Structure formats: structure tokens, C-alpha cells
Structure 1
Amino acid sequence: MDNIQAIRGTKDILPSEIIYWQYLEKTAQAILTKANYQEIRTPIFEQTPLFERGIGEATDVVGKEMYTFVDRGDRSITLRPEGTAGVVRSYIQNKLYASGGVDRLWYSGAMFRYERPQAGRQRQFHQIGLELLGSNAPRADVEVIAIATDILKALGLQNLTLQINSVGNKEDRQNYRQALVDYFTPYKEDLDIDSQDRLTRNPLRILDSKDKKTQEIAKNAPSILDYLGNDSKSHFDKVCNLLSLLGISYEINNRLVRGLDYYTHTAFEIISSDLGAQATVCGGGRYDGLVSQLGGSETPAVGWAMGMERLILLLEQLQPLKATTPDIYFVSRGDKAENQALVIAQNLRHHGFKVELDLSGSNFAKQFKRGDRSGAKICLVLGDTEVEEGTIQVKNLATSQQKTVSQQDLITTIKN
């Protein structure tokens, strides 16, 4: 019988790798907590219309990449392809807006998209994201960008570039959409197949095509910055000025539109030059119409998401993180000793020590070898003789010095 393998596009996170994940999660959580963002955890699957309405039916995510199925209740269910729609659904359903003011939320967890797996991109992938709901101020845009910058700096990541753009309001986008249709239509036969389809459904996404010929054609396409109304221009100018005030460098990329329909005004990405093709480590922007689109009241909002797999790739390039090791390795031999060792090990753990208890039952020589490899500083040795005498042997694995102490004095001895 063949062994069952993990599904293509999914990946086990092994104990030797988990330290990077824990470091990333701990670093992000500390910075988000300092800015008073509250964690929220939403289900990994939702009703399919949430994503169709929220993300947009003309997007690649909805059209090609969602994991959708019909459950036993004959309901269309989708594994979440991104985090924002679920957070907004929860915000509306649970009336988080009722207290008034601004809600600052963050999340982390698995997302699902049917894409071609490659380095930094899996079909089950993970994101850390935040959403700031209830403010239309340019300061809100800059706050979330600054927090993303702080997290990436705290992780020690380098060679990062912040790219920003404005996609304007609904009216600006409609005017720009028509300008793109007028520009690309004469080139329709030269565009890649996906872009030909997008020409009528979602022409802004043509700017995001990875096809080289389409990219060449798009170089001379109109810029959305030329189609912004006065309010949109003012908002974008203030965002740029505030970024400069904080000393956050940026590049304006007038081709940056992001892949989801709900974006308005500010759109941004943080790019790493150390990742090759999959270079975006953080992406987000403002989405002032999404809450009302999903049934809530008019609520301005802005947020971002970071791809954890891509951040892990960068962290692994920086320096190897060492897996945690026990403080104490405990070897024992004999029925009475093995039982007593279990009691002592639990007591030591309750006092804050990391203890690995050898459960092999093999001879002392083999247990000592495992103790040497464990990385522990101390090895405790207990045999039936020590049990009878109420003693235990304490061995310093660095110096090989060993002494016999009373079991009652063990914790004091180890602490000293």
C-alpha cells in the first residue's frame, strides 16, 4: 500500500522550522499590541457569496483560485482565500462598531488559493493581517503602513521597498477603467489570453499581468494618477507627506492596483529584492466601500496582510535560529527509578525548568549519549539505589562534573 502524502500545495511545518514561525508571530504580536490592535479569529470557511461580493467576481481569486464546495446542507462554502472579508463580516455581524470610534483588529492564520505552488506560495498559505475600521483620515493609512514597517524592521529584514499608489474613489476608477479600455482595445490580439478577458471584465488587472508582451504594451498605458479627482489627490498627497514626516521612504508606482476589487484610494506593497519573482511580503490599502457592500453602514477602513511563508524565507536567509533545548535531561533505570523520575520531572517542570525525560528504558550508556546530544546543560541520573537512599546524581554536561545530592535539595542545587 502506498504511503499517503500531503496534498500538493500544502506543506508540513516541522519542529526544526517552527521556531521561525513562532519568532515571527511573537514579534508581530508585540508590535500590534503596542498600537492597541486586538486579535480576532474568524472561521477558515465562509459562505461563498461573502467572497464573491467582497473580493469581486471578476477577480482571479474568485474566478480561478477559490476552494469552493457544496456541503451536506446544500450550501456553497469557500475556504477563505484572504482575511479581510471574514473580518468585515464579523465586524458587521457582531456589531463591533456599536461602541463608536475606531476599531483596530489583527488576525493570523491559514488561507487557501488554488495556484501553482512555488517558493513562498502554497495552496494553503498563512497570513498576518490588520484592519483599521472607522477612520477615513490619511493618518490611518500611514499608521498601518508604519506598523508594517516596524514589524519588518524588528524581524531584521533588509532590502525592502515600499511602493504606493492611489486607485481613487469609485468615480475615479470608472473614468480610469474607460481610459484603459480605450488604450488596450487596439492591442487586444497582442495581449495574453487572461488580459484579453480582463479587458471587458476588469481592465485594471491588465496592469498586473506577468506576461512580458503585455507588460511592454502596458508601459505606455494611462496613469491612474491623471484621473484622480481633487479629494483623491488631496488624500494621496497627505499620505505621502505623512510618510515623509515619519521618515518612511517610498516609491510611487502608478501601475500598482492590487488584485482585489474592494480597494479605494491608497494601495501599497512592500517588496523584497531578495525573493525573486514572488517579491511582495506585505500588501494592502484602503477599502472604504467594503463594509457597506457586505451589508453594514458606510464605514471607511484600511488594512494589510503579510505572507508568512515569504517572510520565513527571508528570515532563514538572515541567520539560523536555534531550536529550543531542554535545561535538564533526565535518565533513569529500574522500575522504581523510572516511576520516581516521572514524579521528579513533573515537579521540576512546575518550577519552571524545561525537562526532557528519557522514556527509552535502555541502558545508561545509550541514555547518556542522547543526553549529550540534547543540548541540555544538566543531566539527572536516577537508579533504584538512589531511590532507596533518597538521592539523585546531578551531572554538568559541559564539564562532566557529577555529584550526588538529596532529592529534597535538588531544586536548590540546580538553581545555584
Structure 2
Amino acid sequence: MPRDDANKTAETLGASIRDRQTVSVSNGVRNVHPVYLDRALNAEAWDSEGNRYIDFVGGIGVLTIGHRNPVVMDRVIAQCDRFTHSCFNALPHEPYVAVTDWLAENCPIEGPAKSMLTNSGAEAMENALKLARAFTGRTGVIAFEGAFHGRTLATLALTGKTKPYKTGLGPLPGPVWHLPYPCPETGVSVADAMAAIDKLFAVSADPKSVGAIVIEPVQGEGGFRACDGEFLVALRRLCDENGMVLIADEIQSGFARTGKMFAVEHAGVSPDILVMGKGIGGGFPLGAITGAEDVMHALAPGGLGGTYSGNPVACAAATGVFEVLEKDNILGRAKQLGEKYATHIAWLRDLPGGHVIGNMRGIGAMRAFELIADDGKPSPARLQCLLQLARENGLLLMPSGEHANVVRLLAPLTIPFDQVDEAFAIIAKLLPKVAQVA
């Protein structure tokens, strides 16, 4: 088929999928990039029209070791040849236990650690809240401004952002109190955040009514804001003094993204429950909670579980992820990648149009940068311009942040460094055009 005819055929296919989506998909499901993935490998992706992209979205942090990692795929294929499903609550299987074995050895939990597997991060957080209630006999939860913990009803109550997640839903499960998140980007100090907790206890909530404090050590949707480590230490002490459960949400920051296996390790803090998802499954639906034995045993047998929770194929994929994390020194690579990001972002600022690049955020390879207006204020318009132009030039980027002006860098940690260079060269080329946006 001549090239022009092939291109027309590919474009027709893309348009056909868009038409079908309009007919059959809820408008509540929004797409950041209006292209349709056809195939992918490691940090590269190709759409239904044959266009190639460098993927800095990575399934929003899922693809820590890349699309279709060969070790993961081998484990998945081998498991599919044996059996594809068994509900662990009814008929247990070894792949589930292989995952919980690894979690017991590698999660920063004091004393014996126990785990439960889920389908997703949001489901994991739901079960963490159940356990906190059962263990403490209390219903109150403290969460933080800018947080994102999921879209289910209970996790939405924790999420510290109204639009678009909570709009039109009415009262959510609670009580939940949102307090300031201490980090450089918010300008909130540890002293300020602790004062807010003291005021909460003095005005609105008896400490003995609060069962859990839920925090992302590095906020994901909030724009890769890293919590001050001293605050995590203070929260650990506060929970110990008041019989509260400390829940660390590592759904996006876990599995080497920050240069530690889990971000909370940077502060040397052990939570009571660690909530995981995204990167654990290597592209297959899996989440987990790992916690202290007494907390994890707070519900009676049968109180935890789910038909698909800990699906054997997803568990097999996770064991492949664990192997790659160790064998390929992904922790070391995350540190190298973070340094490379920092160097490139500093370079961008010195280029024509580079004044649109604001502060860099994050830790390790969990990095982001702001798009700002000429007066230094957040510029969501410039971010949207960059997203579109980057996509048209073969680079997929992911937005975030309170003002929708932060670009998250979520490429696989296995991305070849020359592709990182290629990605930032694309951004550099586009900066003068982005700077023309008011």
C-alpha cells in the first residue's frame, strides 16, 4: 500500500475509535491525550495512527520498569499457562503468598508485617481505613490539602481537591479534616502544620476521636510536593501518643521512584500501614496494604478480601517487578535519572523562552517542574500548550498540581538516557512557542 494511503488508513482508524468512544464512553472519563495507544515497549509508545512517542506518562506511575518488561512478561505468560484466576478467599494460590513474602521483607514496618492484596491503590486505601477503624474503634481521619488518595467515596473524602473529583457528590464519608501540607511549595513549615493540628484538637476534634492520619510522603496529583521529613517524624510521635494509626500512601511514590524503595524511608519513619498500587504490578492491576501485625489482624477472618484481589496473573507480574528492581539496581538508576532531570531542567531555564520554566519539585526520579506566566504566577494555559505541542512532536507529558501548571516526569526508570535527552530536546525546541501564550 502506498505511504499516503497507509497514512489515510491510520488516520481513519483513529477517527473511528474517537467516534466509538463518543457513543459508548461516559463523559466523566476524561483523556489527557486524545490519541489511542496501539503498542509500546519500555519508554516508547505508538498510537493507532503509527505515531511514535517517548512516554513520560508511564500509566501515571504504573510502568516503573517500562511497558512490557521482558521479565514481567515471562512471568505472566508462565502463569497464564497454569491458571489465570482463583479467588484467594476461596482457593488460595502461591503467587499471592510470593508477593506478601516480598512485602514482609521489604516494607518499612516495625515488627512482623502482614499484608493484603487488592486490585488497585484506591481499594487498598479503602481497606486501610477499615483496618484503622477496627483497630482504634474511631472514625475520624486527618488528611492534607493537595492530597489525592482515589476516586471511590471513602478515598474521595480524603482527597484534598474538590474539582473535578467531588463536584456534585454531596456529603462524603467522614469525619475527615484536611490540614496544611508542609513543604517548600506551600510555604507551610513543620511548626505551622503542627500548630494547625493543635488548633484542630482544640476547636473541632478530640484526639481520641481520630483513628488515623493519612499522608503521601510525596504528593502525586498535588504536583510532586515532598513532605518535610521532620513532619513525618512528628506525625509518628503524635500517633504513638494518641493511639492513632499512621497510614502512608505510597501508591505513586513507591517502588524506587524516589530513590528509596518507599518515600517514607527518606525520613526514617515506619508507618502502621503502607498503602501501595501502581508500580507494584508492572502494568497489571494490583494494589496492597502492608502493616503492623496487630493492626492488620484487627478484622475478623473474612473481613478482608475480594473476588479479584491478588489475581494470580497480576501477582506473577509483581514477582517479575521485584526481580527487576533488585537485579537491575533500579534504586541506583532512579537516583541517576533524578540527577539527569535536574540538570536538564536547569538547562531549559537558560534557553530562549526558558523563563516559562518555574521551580523543580520532588525527590529522586519523582520530579516535576512548573510552567509560569511572565509575572511568575502559575500558568495552566502554558502547560496545556506544552502538552499539546510536545505530543505533536512525539513526547507525552502528564499535568498535575493545585493550579494545573505542573508537569510530572513519570517516564519508566528503565528509560534509556538518550531518550531522556531526546525528550528534553523536544521541550527546549518548544519553549519559544509556549512563551507566546499569555
Higher relative contact order by CA 8 Å / sep ≥ 6: 1 or 2? 2
- Name the TM-score, length of structure 2 as normaliser: 0.22
Instruction: Pick the structure with more strand per residue.
Output: 1
Larger Rg: 1
